[in-house]
Structure 1
């Protein structure tokens, strides 16, 4: 049995996926409140605390499979939120004999994430760095086999540049929601002929292999 099928982990994932399914209703309520002036038009406040912004079960399993297929042992994630994608990558880290470093800026989400990791039995496979990822990952010296970008889109390219020296040949870089306007500089960069990456777009997911 692989870790992804562990009942302890699946119980946590099912709870989180069920909670994340209500994001659409929360978005609609927020937009209505903003339209009527009950809330400020501030995307930062809207997106930070109450929304899961989670990968779907299919997307999560894809993350796990990609990590296993590439035998990624040293993984980094930007934008853990409540930890749905973190749990999938953490399971792959355990099965690959590796470790995941994840990042999250929102204190409430960090507290919830730590609890979710403990309940899933993956706390020993995942290190959470709380705060601005450009700062919390700045001292990273170890190589990176797999990098997942799934936070603020405007930080995708700066973070890629920060970690580029740690990405060896064959390293995998995944970036979610790249159809967002703020991610277009990232998409242009990884698709440029001289980028050092081979990149394929799958819907709103960018998959890049370091050459």
Structure 2
């Protein structure tokens, strides 16, 4: 028997934002623990950059496209490829494929990502306070990293590492908040929706 009232149908696609946010956040925290001087650059950071920070974010971005979310598509796919590019910039010279970029080129690379992030920040003004903090702190992080490359200051690099840990932790919080709030059907961890 066919019901007389229409039955609402969901799109059947899970929210990919928590995956993208956690992939970005965990990888950012680990890289910035290195920047803060806690340990040397190693394969753990590079593997996270390829597989979680890189590929998982690209996958999240593609799913956002399926959900018709242009902001999510642009952000997650872009930052996924940022991580893959960063690993390439570190690994390709070690393999002898190309010369290592000079500090000025790395400064330009980081600065353009800072500009891009600042522009995306304006999209978060229509979303929620948690994402606003993630993108604002990421903008600051990129410009601090640019200054590190220009000055070569180890103390500034360590300070920047701690700022990056805060940025990454805020992305993890936002991703987990999305998961728990959905699972429990109520606000477990607030994200500060825009009124």
Q: TM-score, normalised by structure 2?
A: 0.30
Which structure's residues are more often helix, by fraction?
Answer: 2
- Structure number with greater Rg is 2
Which of 1 and 2 has higher RCO (CA within 8 Å, sep 6+)? 2
Which structure's residues are more often strand, by fraction?
Answer: 1
